[in-house]
Amino acid sequence: MAVGLPSAELVGLDFSQRQIDDGKATRDECGITNARLLQANLLEVDDSWGQFDYIIAHGLYSWVSPEVQAKVMEVCSRNLAPNGIAYVSYNCNPGWRIRGMFREMMLFHTAGLKSPADKIKHARALLDYLASYAGQKTPYGAMLQREAATIRNADDAYLFHEHLETNNQSVYFHEFMAQAHQVGLMYLAESPIQTMFDVDFDAKTTETLQQLGSGNILHVEQYMDFLRNRTFRQTLLVHKNIHLTRNLDWRNLLPLRIGINQALSCEPHDVSGCEATEYTELPSGLKFTVTHPGIKAALQLLREQSPQSVTFGDLVALAKATSRSSENIEEVVATQIYGLLAMGVANITIEPWLCATSVGDRPKASALARKQAGSADPIITLRHQHTNRTPSFLWRLLQLVDGRTINEVAEAIVADAQAGKLQIKREGKPIKDPTDLMARIKADLPTHLGHLREMALLLPH
């Protein structure tokens, strides 16, 4: 966040001195100057810390004692600026009830063990044993197999933190909000926002949902958790005295920017035509169809500018010019955008992302991304998203894009290949000849650099 928001001042707090020391080392190595990292006890945070526009409590609320949970809420209220937003993530019911059952099984199985490594090893062995029972053709066996597979696929750090720590308390959404109300906070939204839409329900279910909710958004959200068997929430909170407008009006989009979350593919088409064009989000495979020429033109602009966002005004102007219609094009474009939000295809921002829309002659990634690419740490994009670490060649390339020319990048890759650090293949066989190596790398580099750009890993140039 400090890299992507260079004008912001960030303060990070952790009780663990080791975690703070590691964070400071990374911060200083990467030349990050707008982040302060402090070892502190959350229970001792008071008014002297000041107020913040945003407070983020991720992976904390469910995993601490009730006393600390209450303090999390107090800090989110007392230390939040008047127009600020607090983010709190937590495990929620009813979905976590089932997953919590597995936690209780693993805690019982590992009760006599001391070291985290031993606990993780034996917990995984228990999961394997439970999953093997799934051969029994029963609903319980199918549930065991499904949940055990979900947990087994997690890394060791997550498994220990989520299932073997002392505290892990799930709550219903209405219980969480009752605690928020006690400290003067109210519900703003969920992150990601698409979970607030009911597009995954049929018409009858949606109708009944609205009747049960009776116009109360908290009730609607709770009933949707019941329907979806939700396990995890990322709730945004604001002060109770804030006036909220929840109507999805096109005017609300005027000061905002729109972007797409993943690549959108479609067959070649005439954007000015009214024939149906099918779009596919990659890699999810989600499909939707558009017939309106103006919307096709707007989607084309979003695809061209991705991973960067585009102003709502620019999308409307292009749609209006393409459709040549007297209809209220603002409402048409807004309806499509809200639909894309509901599907999780689009995102909305206030400011442009700090990422490149083209590779340029001297591609450059942030020092933090280059460091992460050379370690086992997750790689975070300039849009604050995690990336998939495969293939490994791409992450070696990421380490090399530090502002040098593309030709210098190619020379560095050739040197790596000759030193045995990388294998560049043709038809499944390693290329040994330096001239052939350089020719192959230069031919492939534009594609690989394009992938880094698409993932929002390259800085503007």
**pLDDT tens-digit series, residues 113-123:** 999 999 999 99
How much is the mean pLDDT over the chain? 92
pLDDT, residue 248, reads 86
**pLDDT tens-digit series, residues 309-360:** 999 999 999 999 998 776 789 999 999 999 999 998 999 999 999 999 999 9
Query: Could you give the CA distance from residue 452 to residue 455 in angstroms, rounded to a whole number?
Result: 5
Banded pLDDT at 6 (limits 50, 70, 90): very high
Query: Could you give the CA distance from residue 445 to residue 397 in angstroms, rounded to a whole number?
Result: 9
Banded pLDDT at 134 (limits 50, 70, 90): low
291 found inside a domain: yes
159 found inside a domain: yes
Domain edge (last residue) among 239, 264, 292: 239
Query: Could you give the CA distance from residue 455 to residue 297 in angstroms, rounded to a whole number?
Result: 23
Identify the DSSP state of 43.
Answer: G
Q: Which domain holds residue 106?
A: 95-164
**pLDDT tens-digit series, residues 99-111:** 899 999 999 999 9
Q: Is there a single domain that holds both residue 339 and residue 447?
A: no
Q: Is there a single domain that holds both residue 337 and residue 405?
A: no
Q: Is there a single domain that holds both residue 85 and residue 189?
A: yes
Q: Is there a single domain that holds both residue 382 and residue 446?
A: yes
**pLDDT tens-digit series, residues 155-196:** 898 899 889 988 899 999 999 999 999 999 999 999 989 999
Tokens (6 digits) for 33: 């100057």
Contact predicate 70/169, CB 8 Å: no
Q: Is there a single domain that holds both residue 411 and residue 380?
A: yes
Q: Is there a single domain that holds both residue 430 and residue 288?
A: no
Determine how many CB atoms are found less than 10 A away from the CB of residue 132.
13
Q: Is 229 left (phi over 0), alpha (psi -120 to 50) or beta?
A: left
How do beta strands 425-426 and 429-430 pair? antiparallel
